[in-house]
Structure 1
Amino acid sequence: MAKSKTQFVCNSCGSAHPKWAGQCADCGEWNTLVENAVEAKSARSERFAGYAGEQSRVQKMSEVNLQEVPRVGTQLSELDRVLGGGLVPGSVILIGGDPGIGKSTILLQAMCLLSQQLPTLYVTGEESLQQVTMRAHRLELDGTELKLLTETQVESILAKAKLEKPKIMVVDSIQTIYTEQLQSAPGGVAQVRESAAVLVRYAKQNNVALFMVGHVTKDGALAGPRVLEHMVDAVLYFEGERDGRYRILRAVKNRFGAVNELGVFAMTELGLKEVKNPSAIFLSRFEQKVAGSVVMVTWEGSRPMLVEVQALVDESHLGNPRRVTVGLEQNRLSMLLAVLSRHGGVATHDQDVFVNVVGGVRVMETSADLALLSAVISSLRNKPLDQDLIIFGEIGLAGEIRPVPNGQERLKEASKHGFKRAIIPEGNRPKTKIADMEVIGVKRLDDALQNIFS
C-alpha cells in the first residue's frame, strides 16, 4: 500500500507548503496554514475499493433522464417542508446549531420513523449506544428497527456501512469524526473537511441520504461546519434559545427546495413537536390595545407568517440615542428613522428606540419597514393601533412605499386570522376583493401615516 503524505495549505491564498509555519510565505497572512491529506493514487483506490457505485460517463443534455427522483418523507411535515418535500436519495444535509438546541433529538425522531420503511444507520461519536437508546425510550420512540453504531474513525464507519447498506445515514457529529490519513486531532478544520469529503463521496456514489450534525459556537470561531457548507446539498440551522420552548429550523442552502424555508417546532417532554400554525403562536397579544404594537405578515420560504412587531420610544439622556433591535437589522432601523424624519415629519434624534419581534423570529425581508415605523410612532405618541389592523410594505429612501412579493397570499393569511383592515403598498392592492377585509393601498410614507393614525 502506497504511503500517503500531508501538506499544509493556506486558507487565504491556497498555496501549498511542505511543513507548517506561522506565516504564509506567499501572501504573508498569519496562522492560516492547515493540514491537508495528499494520497497516492493507489492508496486512494484501495481505500475506496468496493465503495463506488455506478461509474459516471459523459452524456449529452438531450440524453439526461429528467424523471423526478422520488423523495422519501420523514413523517415530520415541518422537516419535510424545510427539506423541500422530503429526502432525496444521495443528498447530503448539514444540520448546524448551538449545543443542546435539539439537533440530535429531531434526527433521532426522524430516524426512528424512517427505520420502519427503509434500512437506516445512526452513527454517534459523542454518545454510547446505551445513551442513545435511553433517550429514545424517554421520548417514547419506536426504534426497534433502527441500527446504531458508535465509531469515530471514518474508514471504520464506511466499512460498516458497506456491510449494512443503509439508505439513510446520520453522523452525529462531524466534529468527532477523524481519518487516519491525518495526524491532527479530531475537530480541527483539516480533519472535519477531509472526513466530510469522504462521507459525501460515499453518499453520492451509493445513493445514500446522509445527515451530518455540526456544532457552531456563538461567535462562529469553530470553522468546521463553515467549510462544509459548499460541499453539501442542504444546510439547515436550528435557531432559538435553549431555555425557550420554540425552535426554528431554517434552510440557508438547499439544492432540492426553496431557500430560507422555515419549520417551527415546540420542545416538549416527548421531544420536538411540529407547530402546524406558527402564526397563532406568535400572535399571543394582550386583550387590551397597547401602544407600540402592530402585526405584520412576513414571508418565510413558501408560506406567510404573522408576527408582532413591538417598539418602545423613550427620551434619551445620552449624547447618542440608542438604537436596539431584536429580530431585525439594526442598520436598517437607523436608515428608516432618517426617512421618517425627512419624509414623515417625525424626528427621533433625541429618543431611544428599542424594537423587538415577538417570539424570537428573525425577519430578514424588507416588508417589515412600514410596520416598524408604525410601531415607533405609536409608541412615541402613546397612541395604540387597532388590533384588527395588518401592515406591511417596503419603504424607499425617497419616502415611497414599494410593493413586496406574494402580497395576495399575505392578505389571505391575515384574513384567515380575523384581521379586518390592511394598509399595504398600492402595488400589492388585490384585483379581487378579500372577504371581510378593508384593503388600503398607499404610495408615500406621509399618506400611509395619515391612514394609519387617522
Structure 2
Amino acid sequence: MAKNVRAARPVYRCAECGHEVSKWVGRCPECQAWGTVEERGVAAPARFLAGATSGDARPIGQVDIESSRASATGVGELDRVLGGGLVPGAVVLLAGEPGVGKSTLLLEVAHQWASTVGRCLYVTGEESAGQVRLRADRTGNLHDEIYLAAESDISAVLGQVDAVKPSMMIVDSVQTMSSLSIDGMPGGVSQVRAVTSGLISVAKERNLPIILVGHVTKDGSVAGPRVLEHLVDVVLQFEGDRHSTLRLLRGIKNRFGAADEVGCFELRDDGIVGVPDPSGLFLNRREQDVTGSAVTVVVEGKRPLLGEVQALVAPTSLPAPRRAVSGLDSARVAMVMAVLEKRGRVPLGNKDVFAATVGGMRLVEPSVDLALALAVASAAVDQPLPHDLVVVGEVGLSGELRRVNGVGRRLSEAARLGYTRALVPPDAGPLPKETRALVANDLGEALRLLKITGKRGSSKDE
C-alpha cells in the first residue's frame, strides 16, 4: 500500500499565470515574471480509491435529458448564439471591452428571464446597488423578481443564493470576486480560478444557470488564466466600436450548440435591442452608380450579411504613397492591391489608396478580396460599378478567382435586398433564379466584364 502513496510535497505556483513548479525559482519559466513564484501549501497525496464512484453506469439511451432542456432567455439574438437558451447548470462567460454594453445586455436578460421563467439574482461587484438601479430605471428593466446584491466575497454570494433561491444568476464581474481562503488580490490567477470553480460547483449541484461577466486584455482575449475558458461551458465575446451603435455577440465556445453563431444588437439611449436583420446597417444604398464602391456578402456564423467596401485613390507627390485601411485586414489589402497592379494592369504606384468599410463592419473573409479589388480599380480609373451588383470571390496571387463556401446562400440574401446581378468565380454552384450571374475566371476578366480597364503593360508582362 505504501508504494501506491506519493509523499506529500510543497507546491510552488506563479501568482501571475498559475504555473506550478516542484521547487522555488526566482523567475517563472512560463510567463518569465520575476518574484511571482510562491509556496501554496502541500499537494494532496495521490491514492487509489477503490470503489469511489459518483453513480452507477447505465446505457446512454436511458439517461434523462428532460432536466437538461434549454430555457429561452427572452432575448432572441442571445438565444440564437446560445443554441436555444440557457441549459440548467450551465456556466456562461460573457467577455467584452469596457463600455461595450455587457451590463446593459445582462439587465435586459435578467428582466426577460424574471418576466417569463422565474427569479433572477444579479450580483454586482463593480458598481453599487444604486448605480445598477439607476441603469434599470433608464432602460426600463425593473421587475419584482430581480434581486440585486452588491457583493465581492464569494462566500457572501453563495449565502445570497441560499437566501434568494434564484432560477438564474448573473455575476458582474468574475474578476471582482474573491475568496478569503485564497491568497492573492481579486482578479489574480488564483482568485479567479477559485471563484470560478466554486460558482461552477454551485451551478452543477443546483442546476442553476450562471452568467459570468469577464474582462478582456488589450489584444481582445479574455483576461485571467486560460483555464477560465476551459472551466466554463459557454464563452461569448461581445464586440463593438465605440463610435457605432452596432454590437456583435460571437460564440467562441459552446458545449450545448454551435460555436460559430453571431447575434446582432443595437445600443440605444434607452437600452439594447436585438437586430434580427442587420444587413441594411452595413450598406449605403444608392439608386445610381458611384465610383470606388463595391458590395459583397460575408457569412458570420450561419448568417449571411451584406457589407460595402469603399475605396479612394488620389495622386500624391510624396515619395512613399499612403495606404490607409479601416475595417479590413491591412496585410490582405496590400496583397490584393499588388495583384491588382500586376495582373489587372491598374497603376497604383504613385497614388494614395484609402480603403474602408461602411457602418463599422469588419470584413476579414477571403471572399471580400474581389470586392476590394474592384472598388480600388473603380476609384483608380473613375469608372463606377453597377449599383445592383454584388461581388463574391477570393483572389489568388496569380490573379485567378477562387470560389468560396455558401455562394448560393450569400446571393439569396443579396437578392432579397434587391441585388439582381452577381460577379462570381467559376463553379460557384447553384445560384438563385432571380440573380443574373457574371462569371469570371481571373481578375483581368472581371475588370473587362465590368468595363474597368487600366493601362496595359508591355508584352513581357502579359
**TM-score, normalised with respect to structure 1:** 0.86
Q: CA deviation at 1:12?
A: 7.5
1:244-269 deviation line (CA, Å, top 9, x unaligned): 32222222222333334222212222
Cα distance between partner residues in 1 of 2:285 and 2:384? 13
The residue type paired with residue 414 of structure 1 is A
Q: What is the TM-score of this pair, normalised by structure 2?
A: 0.85
1:409 aligns with 2:413: no
Shift of 1:133: 2.0
Write the distance in 2 (CA, Å) between the matches of 1:160 and 1:244.
38
Q: 1:94: Cα distance to partner?
A: 1.3
Matches of 2:424 and 2:39 in 1, distance apart? 54
- Gapped regions of structure 1 (runs ≥ 5): 43-54
Q: What is the CA-CA distance between 1:288 and the residue it aligns to?
A: 4.4
Match 1:446 to one of 422, 444, 447: 444
- Structure 1 residue 16 and structure 2 residue 37: aligned? no
In structure 2, the CA distance between the partners of 1:222 and 1:399, relative to structure 1 (3 Å rule), is closer
Contact 1:327 1:360 in 2 (8 A): yes
Compared with structure 1, are the counterparts of its residues 186 and 394 closer, same or farther at alpha carbon in structure 2 (3 Å cutoff)? same
- Does the C-alpha gap of structure 1 residues 288 and 22 become closer, same or farther in structure 2, counting only changes over 3 Å? farther
Structure-2 separation of matches of 1:366 and 1:215: 30
Q: Which runs of 5+ in 2 are unaligned?
A: 1-9, 46-52, 453-462
Do the aligned partners of residues 312 and 243 (structure 1) sit closer, same or farther apart at CA in structure 2, a change above 3 Å counting? closer
Matched, 1:187 2:187: yes
Alignment of 1:98 onto 2:97 = yes
Which amino acid in 2 is paired with 1:451? L
- Give the conservation status (yes or no) of the 8 Å contact 1:95–1:237: yes
Q: Which moved more, 1:254-263 or 1:139-148?
A: 254-263
Q: How far is 1:276 from its partner?
A: 2.4
Q: What RMSD over aligned residues (CA atoms) do the two structures have, in Å?
A: 2.9
Identical amino acids, percent of aligned pairs = 42
User: Using the alignment, how far apart are the partners of 1:125 and 1:273 within structure 2?
Assistant: 25
In structure 2, the CA distance between the partners of 1:292 and 1:56, relative to structure 1 (3 Å rule), is farther
Give matches, 1:181-330, under 5 Å.
181-219=181-219, 223-224=223-224, 228-286=228-286, 288-330=288-330
- The farther-off stretch of 376-385 and 277-286 is 277-286
- Cα deviation digits, residues 283-333 of structure 1 (max 9, x gap): 133554321111111111111111111112233444443333222211111
Label 1:59 to 1:32 Cα distance change in 2 as closer, same or farther (>3 A): farther
CA distance in 2, matches of 1:349, 1:300: 34
Matched residue type, 2:293? S
8 A Cα contact 2:153 2:179, kept in partner: yes
Contact map agreement 2:298 2:365 (CA 8 A) in 1: yes
2:160 maps to 160
How far off is 1:212 after superposition? 0.8
The residue type equivalent to 1:416 in the other structure is R
> Do the aligned partners of residues 319 and 210 (structure 1) sit closer, same or farther apart at CA in structure 2, a change above 3 Å counting?
farther
Give the aligned partner of residue 430 of structure 1. 430
The structural deviation recorded for 1:140 is 1.5
In 1, the alpha carbon distance for the partners of 2:323 and 2:56 equals: 57
Paired AA for residue 104 in structure 2? T
Q: Distance in 2 between matches of 1:319 and 1:12?
A: 47
Q: Which residue of 2 aligns with 1:45?
A: none
Q: Alpha-carbon deviations, 1:327-386, whole Å to 9, x = none?
A: 221111122222223332224333332221111112232111111101110111121211
Conserved 8 A contact 2:93-2:236: yes
Distance 1:58 1:312 in 2: 68
